[in-house]
Structure 1
């Protein structure tokens, strides 16, 4: 997705994953507990390369400490290439041929929804890490699907707190034209107009994911003459959008609020083109000095000879949550695992305390950081950041019941 991680041949990626997954200490009691992990490794390498590393670091740490239930954890990684139909096919193979105890992963929202539907139909546990669509746990939520990351609703609510303080009244939006982008725009618009009724949205641009015509998009936004812009593009689309926006002066004297843009995997490739002052959600890796986070950051750097990304935290956290669930269930049957996952708590690698998977909707209370972009030398970073606890940005139980299918 970005220039820092090349797209490798699919066979090479999977071969490397399999070799890494098998590197585990011997355990005295029973064979390995197998987890089927499905993700868009070759389609979205900027996030998912670090994600895989974070996952493997957690797995190695757990196995070095004796595993779970006296058995090592083993992950069978599969690449869905960003295609929902491939993800469903691979899920069936992992479940029926490889006899995995549960499924995990997912990056794109449409892929996550397909896996969630598969889990429901086949009554198998699916632990989603990254898909941000709210439908995964609300309108299309089910007993067997859980999600780690703060959703589009949650991140929109975090950003609206800051956007509502701006003097801007006329807003334009730009977002990728699929479930994630559409959901993010919907919630940002709705929540901002609720917080600040005088705001109006004067136009929108929905380019295809990975195929933005950045020049035309910037021209269209400029013609709308907005006071501020809400941006949801990421990866190569974000890079092209920022480059054209800088060239054409789109961001001069204009506020920008941007989802995900403070994550190192998307911010660092901007290099010296990083804009100053954007309000973003992200991960201030280098200035987050909680001891638990420092220990994670140092262990990751020692293991992989590079700094972690946001994806690294997601992979590490999801593996820790799964291990905690298996310990609590003290069994590998699907129904026991689902019951154990409801209300499970684990300590996040962010070092911000424990995270809970809510029983009512299976959404984790993991938060993220809200701050502003700042160019430091030749690379961008986050400044003036705060941690937004996910529990504060979730709807109440009555609202969830009205959104989520019952039974």
Structure 2
């Protein structure tokens, strides 16, 4: 049985990736999945993410698809804008007749697509958006989320931050939902553990438009003993470069969200500041059977180490397949029922989508930065299980609207 893969370049017209089974008779009708992400805005993460879901898609269809039906992904770029994301989501549903939606990166875009899913009554499997609101205050029956949200990301860092002797803290974060909520949760959690903490400064650069010189200068004036950083991507590179030039980080502890993800750590190279406490993904160092199998397949296909985006894309597509297989249907209500409690095999081990808040139990890594052979690396890391850091069911009930 031959397999023919079809893919087109990303752009205004989008990309279609599918596997159509040839042979005598008419091919089974494909199951269409609509996928949305910020490919042109944050390619460092979203292109490995696309590699991940495309590899998973090929595996799913090579194994016979879902009950004999191939899966076809119709992908669109949201250009990093909520309005564009809403437009393409509606187009995917109305023109392409997709059975469900998946993807998105930025929190405000994920929330916008989640609202479309609620209004159109269609399943949305959110890949990356970290805002707690997605599965809490703005949660609803049609949206499920893969990536650990802000609270677990912050909680594992607070455990380490509370051990530091520093009392004077400053924060720097992008001025949108993800940055705002990360800082709010970090301050609340750390202050609860350490009532002696003093918050001396907050900096809120616009995402993707940081004035690193002014930001570093303002942080230095506040004379903090420690800094909580939430910037990432090009903004992080500019912040570190300017901070190194001005000596901002000398003698200061830094606790930093996402910095250990290869998408953001690799570009820093020798400019990496050793000793930061970080969340991330030590791709080459994980030796579990599930991850070793994924790593081998990914390197064989793409000739490089996976990024965290690769894990997210792969696991999102596998989640969609598991939901479709469990539902045995593309009917939305059956898909929603199947998604609640579904178990999915991922490179980080088996995860479950909790019925109570539709959040997966995917975990995360926490460790420290170091420089080895002129490259930034993650060291002294441990894996934290998602279920150990998610809110309890009583809190979910209090914060999440009833479906």
Structures share fold, TM-score greater than 0.5:
yes
**Aligned: 1:393 with 2:389:** yes
**Aligned: 1:365 with 2:361:** yes
**Aligned: 1:384 with 2:380:** yes
The total of aligned residue pairs comes to 394
Helix, strand or coil at the partner of 1:92: helix
- Residues 258, 280 of structure 1: 8 Å contact kept: yes
- Cα distance in 1 for partners of 2:249, 2:184 equals 23
- Residues 15, 76 of structure 2: 8 Å contact kept: no
- Residues 13, 76 of structure 2: 8 Å contact kept: no
Residue 252 of structure 2 aligns with which residue? 254
Q: Evaluate the alpha carbon distance shift between residue 26 and residue 296 of structure 1 in structure 2; reply closer, same or farther with a 3 A threshold.
A: farther
- Residues 132, 152 of structure 1: 8 Å contact kept: yes
Q: Evaluate the alpha carbon distance shift between residue 78 and residue 16 of structure 1 in structure 2; reply closer, same or farther with a 3 A threshold.
A: closer
- Cα distance in 2 for partners of 1:313, 1:186 equals 28
Q: How far did residue 29 of structure 1 move?
A: 6.3
Q: How far did residue 22 of structure 1 move?
A: 3.3
Deviations 1:180-227 (A, max 9, x none): 000100100011111111112111000000010101111100111111
With normalisation by structure 2, the TM-score equals 0.95
**Aligned: 1:18 with 2:15:** yes
Q: How far did residue 17 of structure 1 move?
A: 6.7
Residue 163 of structure 1 aligns with which residue? 161
Residue 219 of structure 1 aligns with which residue? 217
Unaligned runs of 5+ in 1: 1-10
- Cα distance in 1 for partners of 2:12, 2:104 equals 19
Q: How far did residue 26 of structure 1 move?
A: 3.9
Residue 240 of structure 1 aligns with which residue? 238
With normalisation by structure 1, the TM-score equals 0.94
Q: How far did residue 15 of structure 1 move?
A: 8.6
Deviations 1:239-274 (A, max 9, x none): 000001111111111100000000000000001101
Q: How does 1:78-117 map to 2 (within 5 A)?
A: 78-117=76-115
Q: CA RMSD in A?
A: 1.5
Residue 7 of structure 1 aligns with which residue? none
Residue 370 of structure 2 aligns with which residue? 374
Helix, strand or coil at the partner of 1:299: helix
Q: How far did residue 30 of structure 1 move?
A: 2.1
- Cα distance in 2 for partners of 1:292, 1:309 equals 16
Helix, strand or coil at the partner of 2:10: helix
